[in-house]
Structures are given as structure tokens and as C-alpha cells.
Structure 1
Amino acid sequence: MRRISIVQGEHAVVAEPHVVIATLLGSCVAVCLHDPVAKVGGMNHFLLGEPGANQMLTPIDRQRYGVHAMELLINGLMAKGAARNRLSAHLYGGANMISGLGTIGSSNGAFARRFMETEGIAIAHCDLGGTRARKVEFMPHEGRSRCTAVSQAVPEAVPIPMPKPARGGELELF
């Protein structure tokens, strides 16, 4: 099975069997879209839902936003034969992992739900929110996905014993 890994600002569209698209999410959101007739699917990974009003964006900045990521994903699917009215979605991520960052994850998840509703895309599966990171794997040809919670526990540091200085003998410093 061929594996395609994506990160923030990326997307992948596939119309062949035996391929998995994978990503790792925290407060970001990944949307997996699938057309069961055309047997094509894809996944994106976005950092924020949409820019603020009057916010000037460079082309590189746009890649961080869901509104742009969704356009790229849908256009990529349609270029491979998908029909917009047959698309179904799987939504993942949007965790509020760090208390000091507020509710960025919740805002991202709300954007994804709102986008699907506005565009008339059915949500087949939704795993948004919480406080844990997720690993998402999507088989675009079949439209199947798997989401696994990632442990947030940080391993404890193992103390390294310091060597004791040798007693006796002479040491000459230069």
C-alpha cells in the first residue's frame, strides 16, 4: 500500500486503489472528501478556518486557511471526475490542546461544519474537538478512514549519572 503524508497547508487527491493519505492533527482540521461513483477522494490539512475581515494575505498565507484548502481539494477532486453533489465528508481534528491558545481548535471545527452545510456536502463521519492529538489515515479510493488518538504524555527524562571525579592523582591545568 502506497502512503502519502500531508502537513499543514497541503492536500492530496487520489483516484487509485491501495493508497493511504495520512496526517497528524492537533488544533488543525483535516477534511476527507470522497465520491463513491468516481472512486476518487482526497484530504486537506488546514491551520485556521478563514482569515479576518480586511486581512491581507500572501499566496503562502492562504495555504493556512480552510477556505482556500477546501477550494483546492474540491477542484482537485472534480478534475479527477468527482461530482460535487456526490461528495461526502469525514472531519477530524480541532482539538483545544493548549489552554493558553483559547479555542482555536473549536473555531476550526466550527468552520469545517459550517462549510459542509453551506456547500451541501453530507458529513459521513465527524471526530472534532476534545483535547488530544489525532493521527488520521484515509483510503480515498474506498472512502474509508481511521482516526487514532495520540497520547499527550511526555516521557519522563531519565537522569544521567554524572561521573564522580577520581580521588588522588595530580591534575595539571595549562
Structure 2
Amino acid sequence: MGARIQIVQGGHAVGNQPDTVIATLLGSCIAVCLHDAQAHVGGMNHFLLGEPENTKPLSPADLQCYGIHAMELLINAMMAVGAKRDRLRAHIYGGANMIAGMSAIGRRNAEFARSFVEMEQIAIGRIDVGGTNARRVEFMPYEGRARAMAAVEADPISRQRTMAPLPTPRPAGDLELFSPQGR
């Protein structure tokens, strides 16, 4: 069994060995898998939001949660092990709208990812975004193969916890908690 690399929000990983699998779990976040078929180099990132909304300075750790930074980190890491930017092919996953009635963060994240990839003139292979289910994504960076599986098979309303009804109390004997004096 080869190496299995699990990435979380703000993370990325690159691989160039045949037995490596990079995996993540996504809700409204996005994972972009990039692959250079000639160099047998691939990588995946996992970002929270496309771009920061404010102009205040962010720490390097905070920046990694944004797609604009996460994409450059991934591309640079791949180029460091032999990938060429003009040979990259992308797969885009995630962007679910996990909570009904909330703003469409997932949709905006997916739009950012697609726009970035197109602007950088990176070929797009597969796009699996939107919906209401979380996804598990596994990427084989050496071959460039990816698969996404629904992690939750429920709509947002049915995900809410429901409580079982309380049992109907059985009749019990009379109980007097406070007895007035003199009675």
C-alpha cells in the first residue's frame, strides 16, 4: 500500500509516485486537482473561500484558506518537482451549498475556481461542484485520476437532528409533594 495524504482546509499536497493518493473531505470548500501527464506530477489543494473580502493584512496561514493564494501555492509546489504550467489539467470538486437558506458560498467558491483555471489557461478535465452533499475526493497524482463520492446522502433539511418523542408517562399512584399542616 502506498502513501495516503489527507489534506484539510488551507492545505495542499503534491505527489509523483504511482502509489500515492491525496484525499480530502469537502462541503462548500473547493479542491482543485492539477496534473501534468508528461511529468507524472499531480497535486490537490483545499480552500475555504475564493478571495478575502477585506483589505486587512492576513497571516500566511490565513492566506492559505483562500483560493487565490492556495492555487499559486499548489502550482509552484508542482513546478518545483518538474511540472510545467502550460501542461496542467484541472479537476474541480466541492462547492456544495450545505445549509439551506444560507448564502451561496459553495456556488461562489466553484465560480472562483473555474474562473481562475480558465484565466490561467489551464485545461479543465472534470468539474463536480454544487448540490447539497459533502464529497470525499481521492486523487492519484501520478496518473491524474480522481474520484469524488458523496459523503452524506441527505438533503439539508433532513440533516437536522430530530429528537424521538418522549415516552408517554404511565399512570402512577397519587403523590403529594407538600402537605399543608393540619389536614
* Cα drift, residue 26 of structure 1: 0.2
What does 1:138-157 align with in structure 2 at a 5 Å threshold?
138-153=139-154
CA distance in 1, matches of 2:55, 2:35: 33
Show CA shifts across 1:55-77 (max 9, x none): 43122211110011101100000
SS in 1 for 2:69: helix
Structure 2: which 5+ residue stretches go unaligned? 168-183
In structure 1, the residue matched to 2:45 is 44
Match of 1:25 in 2: 26
Give the structure-1-normalised TM-score: 0.86
String of CA shifts for 1:120-159, please: whole Å, max 9, x gaps: 0011000011111000000000000011011254587789
Change (3 A) 1:98 1:156: closer
Segments ≥4 residues shifted beyond 6 Å: 155-159
Give runs of aligned pairs for residues 1-174 of structure 1, distance below 5 A: 1=1, 2-153=3-154
The alignment's TM-score, normalised by the length of structure 2, stands at 0.82
Q: Percent identity, aligned pairs only?
A: 63
Number of equivalenced pairs:
163
The CA deviation string for residues 93-114 of structure 1, in whole angstroms up to 9 with x for no partner, is 0011112431000010000000
Change (3 A) 1:157 1:80: farther
What value does the CA root-mean-square deviation take over the aligned residues?
2.1
Structure 1, unaligned runs of 5 or more:
162-174
Distance in 2 between residues matched to 1:158 and 1:140, nearest whole Å: 46
Q: Which has the larger radius of gyration?
A: 2
